[in-house]
Amino acid sequence: MDVKPIVKWAGGKSWLVPALRPLIPKKMRTYVEPFAGGAAVFFALASETPRPFKRAILVDQNEELVACYRAIKGEVPALLKKLGEFVYDKEQFYEVRAWKTSKMSDVDRGARLIYLNKTCFNGLWRVNSKGEFNVPFGRMQNPKIKDEPNLMRASKALAHCDIRHGDFASALQGLGPEDFVYFDPPYAPVSKTANFTSYASGGFSADDQQRLVDAMVKLRGDGVGAVLSNADTTETQALYARFKHETVLARRSINSNTKRRGPTGELVVQNVLAPEKKKSKKKAVARAART
Ligand SMILES: C[S@@+](CC[C@H](N)C(=O)[O-])C[C@H]1O[C@@H](n2cnc3c(N)ncnc32)[C@H](O)[C@@H]1O
């Protein structure tokens, strides 16, 4: 069963799956993604035969996205019916974009999110300070708004999944050594001039980045395996220096500033201690001379 992510998401990790897969166990009780987004790694694992986890937990702070996953899991026929009402049309796009969703059903919210994601400029989800989706209509050739086969497969994949709206910490209660966590938080800044201590992107502050380091340490203490990916910067290298980590080169696909689309590094961190650095030959010789 080959399931693709339902939405194109900023920071989507389909491209990183080959580098991450060897770090994720072949067999788990619970697989947890506390920053689900497009859940590329979850869908890649759910596509494997046999499925490597008994159950999964997906958490995200984006309410629209969580409503969408709930609708795909529990009400896929109604969702498909609703998606069938949408066409690739500028007027309909702005009408649907203006919907106030807070009192809507999961099906209406989910169909709206998929429709806007498939037809908006650059296929990304961005909201203004009031939390309203504000990406303009995109110019594309016949976008596939209703991908029925993939939505049916996604519904099956999500059948084994607990989907929750909330902070990442809520995904981490009661986990044990048979469980595994993949963290993919909003990126720490990549610009050399960015001030890390005051940086907040998508509401994810430097304090939140530190909470995440603490969560990695706590999981290690509880015997729970975890992997985390983040932008490879001097600051993230320092935050995760104690853990085993490697840099994987990427070409970020969602970035409205085309000048920043060059190759960028992703820091992939495991919550196991970094091997001790070998002492340099010079120091060893100096030590030997002293003794
Ligand atoms: C880099 S994206 C994850 C991308 C995902 N791995 C994929 O393949 O598409 C980060 C996600 O974290 C969510 N998020 C931001 N702050 C959060 C928090 N405090 N707790 C949980 N999720 C959060 C965002 O809504 C976003 O969907």
For a substitution probing ligand 1, which of 35, 45, 47, 201 has the most ligand atoms within 8 Å of its CB?
35
Q: What is the pLDDT of residues 212-225, one digit of tens each?
A: 999 999 999 999 99
List beta partners, residue 120.
137
Please compute the mean of the pLDDT values over residues 232-245 and round it to a whole number.
94
Give the sign of the dihedral formed by CA 40, CA 256, CA 166, CA 216.
positive
Q: How far is the CA of 288 from the centre of ligand 1 (A)?
A: 51
Distance separating alpha carbons of residues 109 and 101, to the nearest angstrom: 6
DSSP state of 193: T
Tokens 């339902």 found at: 6
Confidence at residue 129, expressed as pLDDT on a 0 to 100 scale? 77
Ligand 1: which residues within 6 Å by Cβ?
A: 9, 11-13, 34-35, 37-40, 59-62, 167-168, 184-186, 202-204, 208
Confidence at residue 130, expressed as pLDDT on a 0 to 100 scale? 78
- Nearest ligand 1 atom, CA 182: 6
- Per-residue pLDDT band for 194 (boundaries 50, 70, 90) equals very low
Q: How far is the CA of 155 from the centre of ligand 1 (A)?
A: 21
Pairing of strands 263-273, 243-251: antiparallel
| Buried-exposed string 211-245: b where 16+ CB fall within 10 A, e elsewhere | bbbebbeebbeeebbbbbbbbbbebbeebbeebeb
Confidence at residue 126, expressed as pLDDT on a 0 to 100 scale? 84
Distance separating alpha carbons of residues 254 and 261, to the nearest angstrom: 8
Nearest-CA residue for atom 7 of ligand 1: 12
Q: What is the pLDDT of residues 43-53, one digit of tens each?
A: 999 999 999 99
Q: Whose CA is closest to 171, among 207, 215, 107?
A: 215
Distance separating alpha carbons of residues 175 and 247, to the nearest angstrom: 28
- Nearest ligand 1 atom, CA 203: 16
Confidence at residue 241, expressed as pLDDT on a 0 to 100 scale? 95
Judged against a pLDDT cut of 80, whether residue 122 lies above it is answered with yes
Pair of tokens at residue 47: 């596509």
| Buried-exposed string 276-285: b where 16+ CB fall within 10 A, e elsewhere | eeeeeeeeee
| pTM recorded for the entire structure | 0.89
- Per-residue pLDDT band for 193 (boundaries 50, 70, 90) equals very low
Confidence at residue 8, expressed as pLDDT on a 0 to 100 scale? 93
Q: How far is the CA of 91 from the centre of ligand 1 (A)?
A: 30
φ, ψ dihedrals at 247, nearest 5°: -105, 130
For a substitution probing ligand 1, which of 24, 41, 57, 60 has the most ligand atoms within 8 Å of its CB?
60
Tell me the pLDDT of the chain averaged across its residues.
89
- Per-residue pLDDT band for 287 (boundaries 50, 70, 90) equals low
Determine whether 162 is exposed, middle or buried from the number of CB atoms within 10 Å of its CB (0-12, 13-18, 19+): middle
Judged against a pLDDT cut of 60, whether residue 13 lies above it is answered with yes
Pairing of strands 161-165, 180-183: unpaired
Tokens 């303009």 found at: 136
Domain 14-116+147-232 has CATH 3.40.50.150: yes
Nearest-CA residue for atom 5 of ligand 1: 37
Helix (H, G, I), strand (E, B) or coil at 185: coil
